[in-house]
Structure 1
Amino acid sequence: MATYSRLPGSVALITLQNPPVNALSAAVRQGIVDTVQRALKDPKVTSVVICGQNGKFCGGADIREFAGPMLGPPLVPMIHAIEAVDKPVAAAIEGVALGGGLELALGCHYRIAHSKALLGLPEVTLGLLPGAGGTQRLPRLIGLTAALDLITTGQPLDPRRLSTLPCPCPPDVDSLLDKVMAKVRQRSRGALAPVACVQALRAAASLPYTQGMEKERDLMTTLFNSGQARALQYAFFSQRVVGKWSLPSGASWDNSTARTISKAAVIGLGTMGRGIVVALALTGISVVAVETQEKQLAEASQAVPAMLQREAGRRGLATPPGVISFSSNLQDVSEVELVIEAVFEDMSLKLQVFRHLTSVCRPGTLLGSNTSGLDIDQLAAVTQNPGLVVGMHFFAPAHVMKLLEVVCGPRSSPEAVATAMQLGKRMGKVSVAVGNCPGFVGNRMLKLYLEQANFLLEEGATPQQVDEALEEFGFPMGVFRMSDLSGLDVGWRIRKEAGLTWPGVESTRTRQGRRYSPLPDQMCEAGRLGQKTGKGWYQYDGPGGRVARSDPWVHIFLETYRAEHGLVARSIAPEEILERCLYALINEGFNILQDATAAGPEDIDAIYVFGYGWPRHHGGPMFHAGQVGLGRILERLHHHHHNHPDVPHLKPSTLLRRLVAAGSPPVQKWREFINKERVHSQL
Structure 2
Amino acid sequence: WSSTLLVSSNLNLTIPDSVFSFLNKHLRSFQSLLSPVIPFHLCAFPGADIQGFSSPKRQGIGLGPLVSLIERSEKPVVAAIEGIALGGGLEVALGCHYRIARMGLPEVTIGLLPGAEGTQRLPRLIGVPAALDLITTGKVHVLYLSLAVFPLGPRRLSLKPVPKLPNMEAFLSEALMKVKKQAQGCLAPELCFQAVKAATEKPFADGVRKERELFNILLTSGQAQALQYAFFAERAVQRWTTPTGASWKISDSISLLSLGLGTMGRGIVTSLVKANIPVVALEQDMEYLNTGRKAVMLLLEREAMKMGQDAQSLDFHNPARLQFTVDFDGLRDVDLVIEAVFENMALKKEIFKKLSGICKPGAFLCTNTSALNIDEIASATSHPQQVIGTHFFSPAHVMRLLEIIYGRHTSPAAIATAMQLAKAMKKVGVVVGNCFGFVREPNDVSICIGFLKILGFKIGPFRMSDLAGLDVGWRSRKGQGLTGASLPPGTPARQRHGRRYSPLPDLLCEKGRFGQKTGKGWYQYEKAGGRTARPDPWLHSFLSEYRDTHQIKTRFVDQEEILERCLFSLINEGFNILAEGIASGPEHLDVIYINGYGWPKHKGGPMFYASTVGLPRILAKLQKYSEAHPDVPELRPSAFLKKLVAAGSPPLKDLFRSPPAAHLQPRFPGSETQPVGACSLPAAGGSWHKGHSAFQR
Tell me whether the two structures share a fold, i.e. TM-score over 0.5: yes
Q: Does 1:132 align with 2:123?
A: no
Q: C-alpha separation between the residues in 2 aligned to 1:255 and 1:50?
A: 42
2:588 counterpart residue number: 603
Does the alignment pair 1:522 with 2:507?
Answer: yes
Deviation (angstroms), 1:506: 6.1
Task: Name stretches of at least 5 consecutive residues in structure 1 with no aligned partner.
Answer: 1-6, 454-465
Matching residue of 1:381: 379
1:277 corresponds in structure 2 to: 269
Aligned with residue 567 of structure 1, among 548, 552, 556? 552
C-alpha contact (below 8 Å) 1:148/1:198 kept by paired residues: yes
Match of 1:355 among 348, 353, 356: 353
Deviations 1:467-486 (A, max 9, x none): 3x311211111122222222
- 2:232 aligns with one of 230, 237, 245: 237
Distance 1:480 1:143, change over 3 A: same
After superposition, give the CA deviation of every residue in 1:373-398 in whole Å (9 maximum; x if it has no partner): 11110111111111111001112232
- 2:174 maps to which of 174, 179, 183: 179
Mapped partners of 1:217, 1:110: distance in 2: 25
Mapped pair 1:330 → 2:321: no
Give the 3-state SS of the residue equivalent to 1:539 in structure 2. coil
In 1, the alpha carbon distance for the partners of 2:474 and 2:626 equals 26
Shift of 1:287: 1.8
- 1:480 aligned partner: 462
Q: 1:498 matched to which residue of 2?
A: 480
SS in 1 for 2:144: helix
Does the 8 A contact of 1:290 with 1:328 survive in 2? yes
**Structure 1 residues 43, 158: closer, same or farther in 2, change over 3 A?**
closer
Return 149-158 or 42-51, whichever deviates more. 42-51
CA 1:121 to 1:258, structure 2 compared with 1: closer, same or farther past 3 Å? Answer: closer
Distance 2:564 2:217 in 1: 28
Residue 245 of structure 2 is matched in structure 1 by 254
Are positions 1:639 and 2:624 aligned together? yes
Q: Does the Cα contact within 8 Å between 1:504 and 1:511 map onto a contact in 2?
A: no
Equivalent position to 1:264, from 248, 256, 281: 256
Gaps of 5+ in 2: 659-674, 685-697
User: TM-score, structure 2 length as denominator?
Assistant: 0.87
CA contact (8 A) 2:349 2:380 kept: yes
The amino acid of 2:137's aligned partner reads T
Aligned partners of 1:632, 1:681: CA distance in 2, in Å? Answer: 22
Give the AA of the match of 2:286.
E
State percent identity of aligned pairs. Answer: 49
Secondary structure in structure 2 of the residue aligned to 1:590? helix
TM-score calculated relative to the size of structure 1: 0.89
Q: Following superposition of structure 1 onto structure 2, how do residues 175-254 of structure 1 map, counting pairs within 5 Å? A: 175-245=170-240, 252-254=243-245
Q: Deviations over 1:448-481 (max 9, x none)?
A: 4236x3xxxxxxxxxxxx63x3112111111222
Q: 1:155 aligns with which of 122, 139, 146?
A: 139
Q: 1:369 to 1:203 in 2, by over 3 A?
A: same
Between Structure 1 and Structure 2, how many residues are aligned? 644
Instruction: Find the partner of 2:610 among 605, 614, 625.
Output: 625
Change (3 A) 1:542 1:522: closer
For 1:364-416, what per-residue CA distance to the aligned partner results, in whole angstroms no more than 9, with x for missing partners? Answer: 11111011111110111111111111001112232332111111001100011
Give 1:680 deviation, angstroms: 6.5
Amino acid at match of 1:386: P
Cα distance per residue 1:496-526 (max 9 Å; x no partner)? 1111123676622110111111122122223
Q: Alpha-carbon deviation of 1:233?
A: 0.6
Q: Which moved more, 1:201-210 or 1:482-491?
A: 482-491
Q: Distance in 1 between matches of 2:249 and 2:412?
A: 8
1:505-563 Cα deviation digits (max 9, x unpaired): 66221101111111221222233322233322222238974332222222222222222
Q: Does structure 1 retain, via aligned residues, the 8 Å contact 2:88–2:116?
A: yes
CA contact (8 A) 1:589 1:622 kept: yes
> 1:28/1:414 Cα in 2 relative to 1: closer, same or farther (>3 Å)?
farther
Deviation at 1:352, TM superposition (A): 0.7
Aligned match of 1:100 in 56, 78, 88? Answer: 88
What's the CA shift string for 1:267-296, capped at 9, x where partnerless?
111121122223233444332211013211
Supply the distance in 1 between the matched residues of 2:244 and 2:605 (Cα, whole angstroms): 26
Question: By how many angstroms is 1:677 displaced?
Answer: 7.6
Q: How far is the alpha carbon of 1:609 from its aligned partner?
A: 0.9
Secondary structure class of the residue paired with 2:657: helix
Q: Which residue of the partner structure matches residue 36 of structure 1? A: 24
Work out whether 1:576 is the aligned partner of 2:561: yes
> Which segment drifts farther, 341-350 or 569-578?
569-578
Structure 2 residue 117 is matched with structure 1 residue 146: no
Amino acid at match of 1:485: L
Deviation at 1:43, TM superposition (A): 5.9
Q: Distance in 2 between matches of 1:546 and 1:624?
A: 32
> Retained in 1: the 8 A contact 2:515–2:522?
yes
Counterpart check, 1:614 vs 2:599: yes
- Corresponding residue for 2:667? none
How far apart, in 2, do the equivalents of 1:263 and 1:649 lie?
A: 44
How large is the RMSD of aligned CA atoms in angstroms? 2.5
Question: What is the letter of the counterpart of residue 299 of structure 1?
Answer: T
The CA distance in 1 between the partners of 2:138 and 2:403, in whole Å, is: 27
Q: Which runs of 4+ in 1 moved over 6 A?
A: 673-677
**Cα distance in 1 for residues equivalent to 2:649 and 2:145:** 50
The alpha-carbon deviation at position 300 of structure 1 amounts to 2.2
Provide Cα deviations, 1:223-256, integer angstroms capped at 9, x if missing partner.
010110011111111111101225xxxx734144
> Does structure 1 residue 79 correspond to structure 2 residue 70?
no
Local SS of the residue matching 1:111: strand
Give the 5 Å matches for 1:275-314.
275-308=267-300, 310-311=302-303, 314=306
Aligned mates of 2:474, 2:236 — CA distance in 1:
35
Match of 1:668 among 647, 650, 653: 653
